[in-house]
Amino acid sequence: MTAWMLAVLETLLFVCLAPLLAGWIRRVKCHMQNRAAPSLLQPYRDLVKLFRKDAVLAEHASWIFRSTPYIVFGATILTAAMVPLVAVELSTYVIADVIVLVGFLALARFFTALAGMDIGTAFGGMGSSREMMIGALAEPVLLMTVFTLAMTASTTNLSGAVQYTLSSGLVLRPSFVFAALGLMMVAVAETGRVPVDNPATHLELTMVHEAMILEYSGRHLALIEWAGKIKLMIYFVLIANIFFPWGIATELTANNLLVGAIAIAGKLALLGVVLVTWETVMAKMRLFRVPQFLGFAFLLSLLGMLTHVVLETGG
Amino acid sequence: MEFTQLSLYDQAIMLFAAITLFTSFVMLAQSRMAPLIYTFAWQGTLLAVTTSLVAYVSNHPHLYISAGISFFLKALLIPWMLHRLSVRLNIHREVETVAYPSLILLAGAGLVLFSYYVAIPIVQLSALVTRNTIAISIAVVLLGMLLMITRKKAISQVIGFMSIENGLFFAAVVSTYGMPMVVELGIAFDVLVAAILFGVFFFQMRASIDSLDVDRLNRLREVDE
């Protein structure tokens, strides 16, 4: 019973802290670009503001358009529940299969793309088409990374994989280096960050994710934006806990959980700084260059798998 | 032997070997001249690091000398010469058009698989700790060839050629802990002389056909019909 309570609590923590991470990233970015930074709590204020506003629906909106925010938010929360944040081996991790995780993310993307086309505006359709192109290229990379991990840990269970990396101690695996780099590039593409998409702009010609959700307002928009923030955090936690799992709680004692919470907070803050540095250094690329970017990510994950076969299992 | 049972130094050799392979892929994907030369320099550096790690693990002090020579030649001198040449020829900011970039990268991945397949019998015969990296060294050779085939500019072909030499040197280090010193010194000077000759060749080529595109050497006439 306490295990279930902890699992629910952890998911709640995940969902509630995602805007804080977004605020942190925004703040670091402002500092790096010599701008005055907004408060860390600004994303919460934005969300509250959006929840208070009325939702405006287009006349021709079907049930798909109306239900998409809830489906996306629900799928994202379920994904968040599977990812080990503070501790491994909580009750939800029986279903914490990585392929299920990829499936949930695909479900959310599918419905967002449908909703983008539902109203029939030009921007929505354009955004959906671009999003599906990026998705179709990013998903194989994600799966290849997952398979590299699964071949090493002999399981596709996230919790099991984290425990495997924990128990084998410090091992310099070439395959993990490539898989981590590939996963980072996919994370950048999937969460719509620079250089694939710019989350801070509504420039018509370049937007991808923003174009799909252009027609949303009020609580619908709040839910979708919140889900976007959770998705970013999911990728961060995946990178942090799979490749650098040290500090995560393996036993459910208060002391271990506290250490786990501090460890993950530190790792996420650090990853945020890495992302901001990357975004500040890189320029947004043309949409037609994105396949090349993701092709390189695919190559990285493929190299991860190849080096696993060649270097780590042979002999 | 399980990978987790190897010592950290052995694992580091594998890691650096993998990153060396990765630099080959970066060279394949890089179409700008100056970064291509820098990547080549990085490959030389990684090669030297891997060689000195092998020297440490296998207790073969003479490999430190090879590592030193290859660092001096392939990470400093030859990249510096190539860079100076490209600045003097005013091509260091040029972007080369590569046909089907993604397809070339996938073909490269296929070559890695092929070299793994080729290396299996050698790996089974060998008893060295580094035997698994033999496949990587063959792959570096093949990727260098792929770079030469896919590029038209003479300077990138030279880099592909040097990268093949990197792969051969790497193969010698990991499969037999290095060649005799005389052979290694001979090859090192050969490469150096080759680099200097290529430089002369570039200027000749530009003087006679006004371009570094080797495809234009196939034509017999200077003027297009």
pLDDT value of residue A315: 47
- The shortest C-alpha distance from A296 to chain B (Å) reads 8
pLDDT at A90: 72
Report pLDDT for B222: 60
Summarised one tens digit per residue, pLDDT across range A220-242 is 999 999 999 999 999 999 999 98
The end-to-end CA distance of chain A, in Å, is 47
**pLDDT of the residue at A63:** 93
Residue B95 three-state SS: strand
pLDDT of residue A314: 59
By the CB < 8 Å criterion, does A167 face chain B? no
Quote the ipTM score: 0.85
Does the beta carbon of A7 lie under 8 angstroms from any beta carbon of chain B?
Answer: no
For helices B62-70 and B33-58, the axis angle rounded to 10 degrees is 170
Does B224 fall in a domain? Answer: no
Q: Which residue has the higher pLDDT, B81 or B93?
A: B81
Q: How many domains does chain B have?
A: 1
Distances B29 to A50, A218, A287, B106 between C-alpha atoms, Å: 44, 45, 18, 11
Per-residue pLDDT tens for A100-126? 999 999 999 999 999 999 988 888 899
Distance CA A6, CA A10 (A): 6
* Cβ–Cβ gap B14/A174 under 8 Å: yes
Nearest to A172 among B11, B108, B112 (CB): B11
pLDDT reading at A149 higher than 50: yes
**Rounded mean pLDDT, A50-56:** 93
Q: What is the pLDDT of residue A16?
A: 93
Contacts of B46 in chain A (CB under 8 A): none
Nearest CB to B132: which of A296, A303, A310? A310
Average pLDDT over residues B113-133: 87
| pTM, entire model | 0.89
User: Structural domain boundaries of chain A?
Assistant: 2-313
Average pLDDT over residues A132-147: 91
**B120: which chain A residues are within 8 Å (Cβ-Cβ)?**
314
Which residue of A310, A312, A313 to mutate against B (max B Cβ within 10 Å)?
A310
**% of chain A residues with pLDDT over 70:** 99
Residue B223 lies in a domain: no
> Which of residues B38 and A120 earns the better pLDDT score?
B38
Range of the domain at B167: 3-218
Under a CB-based contact definition with an 8 Å cutoff, are residues A14 and A233 in contact? yes
Cβ–Cβ below 8 Å for B105 and A295: yes
Which residues touch A200 (CB under 8 Å, ≥6 apart)?
none
Residue B40 located in a structural domain:
yes
Nearest-Cα distance to chain A for B1, in Å, is: 6
CB proximity A288 to B under 8 Å: no
Establish if A292 touches chain B: CB-CB under 8 angstroms.
yes
Q: Is A291 on the interface with B (CB under 8 A)?
A: yes
B136 interface with A at CB cutoff 8 Å: yes
Binary contact (A174, B112; C-beta < 8 A): no
Chain A residues near residue B12 by CB distance under 8 angstroms: 172
Q: Determine, for residues A171 and B12 on separate chains, whether the beta-carbon distance falls below 8 Å.
A: no
Answer yes or no: do B12 and A295 touch at CB < 8 A: no
Task: Tell me: pLDDT of A301 over 90.
Answer: yes
Using the predicted structure, report yes or no on whether residue B125 has a pLDDT greater than 70: yes
* Chain A CB within 8 Å of residue B98 CB: no
CB atoms within 10 A of CB B41: 20
For chain A, say whether B13 makes contact (Cβ under 8 Å). no
Report chain A's mean pLDDT, rounded to a whole number: 89
Chain B residues with beta carbon closer than 8 angstroms to that of A179: none
User: Taking a contact as any Cβ pair under 8 Å apart, which residues of chain A between 30 and 49 contact chain B?
Assistant: none
Q: Which residues of A touch B143 (CB under 8 A)?
A: none
